[in-house]
């Protein structure tokens, strides 16, 4: 059974800092990995989707990497802003077609 | 550009009551999903519909039923609500062939059973 872990559960940084969020998974036979952002009381907004054949994806200040062999993905946020404060979740889709979600990392960016 | 629309956004039920959560997508996606989100337990799949006319159980289907009414709509029904079903419910959709595509989520229904 796929297990997805996101550590740390919470992170607080000053504005302007570059930061990395981590997502680890146990089964490397994956289709893709998707990073989401969730604001309090809101739904999930897709940030980046990395296919199993890809190493990274970029969107603006966000860069997500994937290393299947080590079962890890990272989400890099450059020049963090208070508006980046949210919970970030990763979802791993295995070859069986099902997805497993991590519990998320709650990010607070202080002005 | 609505995406995935869920109704209602909030609901309070008494134990034993029934209700149906509605979900509709306008992206011509084939697959639709119902998840519940609980603190410390992440998102768990309740039911999914890979394509119109098919439904399958997910990780936590007990106490729920679903209907894929047409390609656009996928509803979740609680026949006899229990306090353990207090949760935030999310509907999601994706194109067929989800190997290459991710999910689009609705904004959620916050359901409280008293």
What would the pLDDT profile of A25-73 be if each residue is shown by its tens digit?
A: 999 989 899 999 999 989 999 999 999 999 999 999 999 999 999 999 9
Nearest to B104 among A32, A41, A46 (CB): A46
Q: Over range B107-111, report the average pLDDT.
A: 96
Average pLDDT score over chain A: 94
Query: Which pLDDT value is given to residue B111?
Result: 97
Task: Give the C-alpha separation, A2 to B109, whole Å.
Answer: 27
Q: Which residues of B touch A39 (CB under 8 A)?
A: none
Nearest to B42 among A34, A98, A102 (CB): A102
Query: Which pLDDT value is given to residue B32?
Result: 93
pLDDT digits over B43-102, tens only?
Answer: 999 999 988 889 999 999 999 999 998 999 999 999 999 999 999 999 999 987 656 778
Structure token pair of residue A77: 């946020």
Q: How far is B82 from chain A (nearest CA, A)?
A: 22
Using CB atoms within 10 Å of the CB of residue A18, give its burial: 0 to 12 exposed, 13 to 18 middle, 19+ buried.
exposed
Q: How far is A100 from chain B (nearest CA, A)?
A: 8
Q: How far is B20 from chain A (nearest CA, A)?
A: 19
Structure token pair of residue B44: 């768990």
Task: Give the C-alpha separation, A92 to A3, whole Å.
Answer: 9
Q: How confident is the model at residue B1 (pLDDT cuts 50, 70, 90)?
A: low
Residue of A nearest to B56 (CA): A98
Q: Would strands A62-67 and A72-77 be described as parallel, antiparallel, or unpaired? A: antiparallel
The total of other beta-carbon atoms located within 10 Å of residue B50's CB is: 17
Q: Would strands B10-13 and B109-113 be described as parallel, antiparallel, or unpaired? A: parallel
Query: Which pLDDT value is given to residue A1?
Result: 85
Query: Which pLDDT value is given to residue B13?
Result: 97
Q: How far is A49 from chain B (nearest CA, A)?
A: 7
* Phi (first) and psi of residue B83, to 5 degrees: -55, -30
Query: Which pLDDT value is given to residue B98?
Result: 57
Q: How confident is the model at residue B39 (pLDDT cuts 50, 70, 90)?
A: confident
Residue of B nearest to A34 (CA): B102
Query: Which pLDDT value is given to residue B113?
Result: 97
Q: Does B10 touch chain A (CB under 8 A)?
A: no
**CB distance A104–B42 less than 8 Å?**
yes
């Amino acid at each position: 059974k796929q297990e997805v872990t996101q550590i740390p559960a919470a992170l607080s940084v000053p504005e302007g800092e570059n930061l990395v969020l981590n997502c680890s998974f146990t089964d490397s036979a994956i289709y893709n990995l998707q990073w989401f952002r969730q604001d309090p009381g809101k739904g999930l907004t897709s940030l980046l989707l990395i296919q199993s054949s890809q190493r990274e994806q970029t969107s603006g200040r966000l860069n997500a990497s994937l290393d299947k062999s080590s079962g890890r993905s990272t989400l890099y946020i450059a020049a963090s802003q208070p508006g980046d404060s949210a919970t970030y979740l990763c979802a791993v889709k295995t070859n069986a077609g099902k997805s497993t979600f991590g519990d998320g990392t709650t990010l607070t960016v202080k002005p | 550009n609505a995406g995935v629309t869920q109704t209602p956004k909030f609901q309070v039920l008494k134990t034993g009551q029934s209700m149906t959560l509605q979900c509709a997508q306008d992206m011509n996606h084939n697959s639709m999903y119902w998840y519940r989100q609980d603190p410390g337990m992440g998102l768990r799949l309740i039911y999914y519909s890979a394509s119109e006319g098919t439904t399958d159980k997910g990780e936590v289907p007990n106490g729920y039923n679903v209907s894929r009414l047409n390609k656009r709509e996928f509803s979740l029904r609680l026949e006899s609500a229990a306090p353990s079903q207090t949760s935030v419910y999310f509907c999601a959709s994706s194109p067929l062939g989800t190997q290459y595509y991710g999910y689009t989520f609705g904004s959620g229904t916050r359901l409280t059973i008293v």
